[in-house]
Amino acid sequence: MHKISIAIIMAILLAFIIIFYYQINTNSPSVNFYFFSLEDADASIISYEDTVIMIDTGEQRDQEVLQKKLQDKNIAKIDYLILTHPDKDHIGNAKYIIQNYSIGMILQTNYNKQSTLQTELNKEVEEKGISNEIVTKDLEIQIKDLYMKIQPSNIEYKDANNNSLMVTITYQGKKALYTGDIREERMQEILQEIGKVDILKYPYHGRKNELSKKFIQKTKPKITIITGKNPDEEIIEELKKVGSKIRLTSARPVEIIWEGKEES
């Protein structure tokens, strides 16, 4: 009888262990969004399992901020370095990143600003033999359950801002939209195709234009990241109207985690 009781107890314990192990291993991994605290510049990291995506690199003066956080996060390799457009507040530290981290692939717009910063960056990319994708049509990349879509402009604009690459991250029904510094003309181009998003990196540091209200009403972001210290008040008011939580990276870094759903 005693042996039977021990056997029953052991069977129950084993069942609990199996259930516990199953619950741990059926939870999908989380996605971590980190927006560096910069004044009027863009730089962010997306981490998903062992994949790291970096979107823009801030200004050259922001190098120490980037270096410290990448060290804190134990990041030595960046799988995808996406440079939305070649303005100095977006590619300022790209050369430094390339020199000091292992880079899997660089993705850039086809807009050539012919600046010293962009020229030196591309020279460094070529010398290191890094895969350099000039995005001229929609590009979709799947990383397990995470989907990344990179969209160039369909029209060749005369300014760098409107030629920004737009990046959409989709994971388990949630969506994050990075808009670079697109302005009114590019907003007009995409207005019919965009929809609601969970995270919006607001365009052009929170500056308004004639389509800002429509853009906000279409996206209805749950959380809006503004990479500028003085966004236009009209933008703030419109975002409040749709119930968006507003985060300014000039005040502090912003970190958002999408927890993976448990599989049934």
Reference 153, options 207, 111, 201; nearest CA is 111
Q: What is the pLDDT of residue 6?
A: 65
Domain for residue 263, yes or no? no
pLDDT of residue 11: 54
Determine if the pTM surpasses 0.75. Answer: yes
The predicted structure's pLDDT at residue 21: 43
What is the overall mean pLDDT for the chain? 92
What pLDDT shows up at residue 28?
Answer: 84
Do the domain assignments include residue 7? no
Please give the single-letter amino acid code of residue 193: E
Q: Provide mean pLDDT across the span 223-228.
A: 97
pLDDT tops 80 at residue 4: no
Tell me, yes or no, whether 224 lies in a domain. yes
Given pLDDT bands bounded at 50, 70 and 90, which one contains residue 146? very high
Q: Beta partners for 140?
A: 149
Confidence of residue 23 (pLDDT cuts 50, 70, 90): very low
For the chain, what is the radius of gyration of the CA atoms? 22
Please indicate, yes or no, if residue 211 is contained in any of the structural domains: yes
pLDDT at 82 over 80: yes
φ/ψ of 253, rounded to 5, equals: -65, 155
Task: Kindly indicate the confidence band of residue 116, based on its pLDDT and cuts at 50, 70 and 90.
Answer: very high
Residues 224, 183, 59, 174, Cα dihedral to 10°: 30
pLDDT at 72 over 60: yes
| 70 SS3 class | helix
The candidate with the shortest Cα–Cα distance to 169, out of 70, 48, 260, 22, is 48
Q: Give the model's pLDDT for residue 2.
A: 56
Q: What is the mean pLDDT of residues 75-88?
A: 98
Is 17 inside a domain boundary?
no
Q: Measure Cα distances from 215 to 19, 55, 185, 201 in Å.
A: 47, 22, 12, 12
Q: Is residue 20 part of a domain?
A: no
List the one residue out of 210, 219, 208, 262 whose CA is nearest residue 242.
Answer: 219
Is residue 136 in some structural domain?
Answer: yes
Ramachandran sector of residue 110 (left: φ over 0; alpha: ψ -120 to 50; beta: rest): alpha
pLDDT score of 261: 67
Question: How high is the pLDDT of residue 93?
Answer: 98
Number of structural domains found in the chain: 1
Domain coverage including residue 83? 30-258
Q: How far apart are CA 141 and CA 190, in angstroms?
A: 20
Q: 66 CB contacts (<8 Å, ≥6 apart)?
A: 36, 43, 57, 58, 93, 96, 97
Residue at 81 is within a domain: yes
Task: Read off the pLDDT band of 8 (50, 70, 90).
Answer: low
Judge contact between 262 and 240, C-beta under 8 A: no
Residue 143 belongs to a domain with what CATH number? Answer: 3.60.15.10
pLDDT at 143 over 80: yes
The stretch 219-242 carries a mean pLDDT of 97
